[in-house]
Chain A
């Protein structure tokens, strides 16, 4: 590939550098995308992937370097200008107007017009046509708020498709898709590829990278590591290129020992259906119980109902032989439960507030001194404890959590819940959007907690993770428990079969 001439590239970013006060976020980074190809852009969080793309879209001004698009030098001033040239992006955080219709969202920023007014008919017809072409089963007139997250994601992809884009950048596009939908997405990606598009595919999921990508560019700590065809690389090589060291194992050794049963959940049914029905399981001291299932299997509802943020209609929760009602989160926390939620940005972190606040907020009553005021000393100590024991990389206590990487944010959130001294720690997709290195640390944390006799429930969509970290796996299917299996005796195949049991 080194011998290719410039014209062979659809998009070429050469030696792009960008500094922020005190940090060199990008140091002479390259990204070269061929037409008719899917290009994986990989790197740990904080490696500079988003900074690089922000430079492309003109959200950041690059300090040096050049960008060529179809052989022409370009300097996009805004995402609109990039879109007009045929460079579009499917965002990881869905950027949609929930209150508006699907077609309003698809055409936002470039409504078809007739005599100066919006041509609703053309809008509808064209949306319908695109959806048919891509086999997306959504009515263009539906309100986005009424769609499932995965359908919203599909709409977002259809939107990028509809721009007739030459370059489509997909940032973690499968984070909320089921396996079937992922296959659907791949079909769409292949269509784009056939059209001559170059797709930049950002994902932490290795199996997807191998399933769909042709080339790969790896970044590490703001530096360009390599750009090469994917062929000939294996997962371990990619990981070691990303982390810059040999990662001999993706999972820490499992040396926790499940002891006696501490938590019994029986016949738990949520009030507002569709949701979970008749869920029963138990959890042992020192055990990691995984919850598997397809999107829509209501895995999250299980932990939400236990934690009291979802109303239950029947069933019981028994901890140490004592029946608990857990009618709201406050009560659940005082009964020794904690929940690390799935949507870290929406319900996990207080993005504009500092590490101290984010570490202590669930436990804040403990810091009240005799005067009724909060004690700075013990608050400072506990914040430091979170930073040390979770190995949070942060400049200080007063740093805004929003400025940390996803992995570090997640560690603070887990630390926050450990401060409440929970007996039962529930984690909903704890490694979503987190890079490989940080994932390993989080697995290690989970196993360490199990060794300290906590009971841990972990929801995950990543099968290897469930197989690598848990002791048992409860498989949910359509709101019901399809089965509970011992991790060491099960296979991915068995789990998938169970997940489809009640469909």
Chain B
């Protein structure tokens, strides 16, 4: 009854509802307007292609975390998993002529093989997270906080073992794979934007067209209902975590190639950016709510703000304050949308 009344009440205050529904986009438009007024040259194909490129890896990470947030979970280990995959990929894909090559006895491996290796490792780490969450019933925050620290330790051990200095000097085909682009006049469409698009389409199909996706939403919306309807809740959770691990690992490989080197600190705090993008994009921490377009939009918003504010020379410290404010504002709007007003 209270639901029904809040709905009709909403109709009576259309302006208020408009602010709730579109508030975050309004903020984005205002920021964009400020940026463009300050620096009209911001609107250029070059900047747009840069923003897309910079968003690509973040989109893949955010898509990984998003599924977990939908199940009422979270993943603090995402960034460290990205870092681990980056370092491993980097060591396996160094150029033959590189004098600092960490494994001089073996040549650069084929990229698909490396993708398989890091994704397998990612899947295993994700699965461990999943087991801890689904079967040992540890809350996701704690479970992934633990694995965040463990993965960093493992990555650092490996990094020490391979020489404790930034791993760089990649095989040309790897640089091409991650830094290449198609030039369309002034517009450069990076290959990694393609990969992000593939990950996006894959996730969209997964969420909307498969039983697995529906089960994710059911578990997030009401775990008890999912259970009594015969959904294998723990197994589904385990799979979601494993899949997220694969997303992070792939993102890590791309990130190493994109930057051109990798250290054990790569990926630090990436999880927070990813989680922030998800919640700004409307994925609810209460579970059961979210859309792929929302996640992608969330990432783009943050990249545009980052890029744009840097472009017009806003003090980075101010950028932190603005970004934090946006996160809270976006989620507050979201909560108001779902609040049960009596």
Given A108-B231, A117-B205, A304-B342; A99-B7 close (CB under 8 Å): no
Q: A148: which of B1, B214, B225 is its contact (CB, 8 Å)?
A: B1
Q: When chains A and B are docked, how far (Å) is the Cα of A114 from the Cα of B227?
A: 24
B209 near A104 (CB under 8 angstroms)?
no
Using a Cβ cutoff of 8 Å, how many contacts connect chains A and B?
Answer: 98
Q: In angstroms, how far is the closest chain B Cβ from the Cβ of A294?
A: 12
Are A100's CB and B210's CB within 8 A? no
Contact with B along A116-137 (1 / 0, CB 8 A): 1110000000000000000000
Contact digits for B118-135, partner A, Cβ 8 Å, 1 yes 0 no? 000000000000000000
- Pairwise interchain contact A300-B230, C-beta atoms closer than 8 A: no
Q: In the complex, what residues of B have CB within 8 A of residue A310's CB?
A: 342
Q: Which residues of A contact B289 (CB under 8 A)?
A: 99
Q: How far is the CB of B228 from chain A (nearest CB, A)?
A: 5
1/0 contact string of B1-14 vs chain A (CB within 8 Å) = 10111111100000
Question: Would you call B205 and A273 a contact (CB within 8 A)?
Answer: no
Asked if A117 and B342 sit within 8 Å, CB to CB, the answer is: no
Contacts of A91 in B (CB 8 A): 228
Residues of A within 8 A of B222 (CB): 95-98
The complex places the Cα of A389 from the Cα of B220 at a distance, in Å, of 42
**A368 interface residue, CB < 8 Å from B?**
no
Q: Contacts of A272 on B, CB cut-off 8 Å? A: 5-6, 8-9, 341-342
Contacts of A89 in B (CB 8 A): 228
Within 8 A of B (CB), among A256-312: 272-275, 296, 298, 300-301, 304, 309-311
Tell me, in angstroms, the Cα distance from A355 to B231 when the chains sit together: 34
Interface-centre pick from B205, B217, B222, B341 (highest chain A CB count, 10 A): B222
Is B260 located at the chain interface by the 8 A CB criterion?
Answer: no
Considering only residues 227-266 of chain B, those with a C-beta below 8 Å from chain A are 227-232
Identify the closest chain B residue to A275 (Cβ): B5
0/1 interface trace, chain B 205-229, chain A, CB 8 Å (1 if under): 1000111001101101110111111
CB-contacts of B173-227 with A (<8 A):
205, 209-211, 214-215, 217-218, 220-222, 224-227
B288: Cβ under 8 A from any A Cβ? yes
Determine if B231 and A97 form an interchain contact, defined as CB atoms under 8 angstroms apart.
no
Interchain nearest-CB distance for A467 vs B (Å): 25
Distance in angstroms from B70 CB to nearest chain A CB is 10
The distance in angstroms between the C-alpha atoms of A301 and B214, with both chains bound, is: 35
| Chain A positions within 8 Å of B1 at CB level | 148-149, 296, 298, 300-301
Known: A95-B222, A99-B217. A274 touches B228 (CB 8 A): no
**A108 B225 Cβ-Cβ under 8 A:** yes
**A contact residues, total (Cβ < 8 Å):** 40
Among listed A75-83, A393-401, A427-435, interface-contacting one:
A75-83
Q: Name which residue of chain B comes closest to A105, CB basis.
A: B225
**Residue A109 interfacial (CB < 8 Å):** yes
**Contact status B4-A274, CB under 8 Å:** yes
Q: Is the CB of A104 within 8 A of B205?
A: no
Is the pair B5, A108 in contact by a Cβ cutoff of 8 Å?
A: no
- Determine if A108 and B210 form an interchain contact, defined as CB atoms under 8 angstroms apart: no
CB <8 Å contact, B4 and A78: no
Contact across chains for B341 and A108 when beta carbons are under 8 A apart: no
CB–CB A95/B225 < 8 A: yes
Q: Please tell me if the beta carbons of A273 and B218 are within 8 angstroms of each other in the complex.
A: no
Given A79-B227, A108-B225, residue A99 in contact with residue B4 (CB < 8 A) = no
User: Beta-carbon contacts of A340-368 to B below 8 Å, as 1s and 0s?
Assistant: 00000000000000000000000000000
A426 to chain B, nearest CB (A): 16
Query: Which A residues, 85 to 102, have Cβ-Cβ distances below 8 Å to chain B?
Result: 89, 91, 93, 95-100
Residue of B nearest to A149 (CB): B1
Distance from A465 Cβ to chain B, minimum over Cβ atoms (Å):
21
8 A Cβ contacts from B1-35 to A: 1, 3-9
Q: A108–B342 contact, CB under 8 A?
A: no
Q: Are B3 and A145 in contact (CB under 8 A)?
A: yes
Contact present for B225 and A104 (CB under 8 Å): no
Q: How far is the CA of A320 from the CA of B230 in the complex (A)?
A: 56
Bound state CA distance, A118 and B212, in angstroms? 10
Contact among B4, B6, B7, B230 with A79 in the assembled complex (CB-CB below 8 Å): B230
Contact A109 B4 (CB under 8 A): no
A108 touches B209 (CB 8 A): no
**A99 x B230 contact (CB < 8 A):** no
Smallest CB gap from B284: residue in A: A99
Residues of chain B from 126 to 146 with CB closer than 8 A to chain A in the complex: none
A274 to B3, CA, bound (A): 11
Of A99, A108, A113, which contacts B229 at CB under 8 A?
A108
Q: Which residues of A contact B288 (CB under 8 A)?
A: 97-100
The interface residues of chain B lying within 8 Å CB-to-CB of A494 are none
Whether B228 and A104, one on each chain, are in contact in the complex, defined by CB atoms closer than 8 angstroms, is: no
Residue of A nearest to B208 (CB): A118
Given A83-B230, A117-B205, are A96 and B3 also a contact pair (CB < 8 Å)?
no
Known contacts: A89-B228, A118-B209. The answer to whether A274 contacts B217 by CB under 8 A is no
User: Are A100 and B221 closer than 8 Å at their CB atoms?
Assistant: yes
Q: Which residues of B contact A301 (CB under 8 A)?
A: 1
- Known contacts A117-B210, A272-B6; is A97 also within 8 Å of B341 by CB? no
- Residue on B nearest A117 in the bound complex, by CB: B209
CB of B224, distance to nearest CB on chain A (Å): 5
Q: Given contacts A80-B232, A99-B221, A298-B1, could you give 15 more A-B pairs where the C-beta distance is less than 8 Å? A: A78-B230, A79-B227, A79-B230, A91-B228, A95-B224, A95-B228, A96-B225, A97-B288, A98-B288, A100-B288, A108-B230, A108-B231, A110-B230, A149-B1, A272-B341
Can you report 8 residue pairs joining A to B where beta carbons are below 8 Å apart?
A: A79-B227, A95-B229, A97-B226, A104-B214, A111-B211, A116-B210, A118-B211, A275-B5
Nearest 6 pairs between A and B by C-beta?
A: A80-B230, A97-B221, A109-B229, A109-B230, A95-B225, A99-B288
Which residues from chain A sit less than 8 Å from chain B, CB to CB?
78-80, 83-84, 89, 91, 93, 95-100, 104-105, 108-111, 113, 116-118, 145-146, 148-149, 272-275, 296, 298, 300-301, 304, 309-311
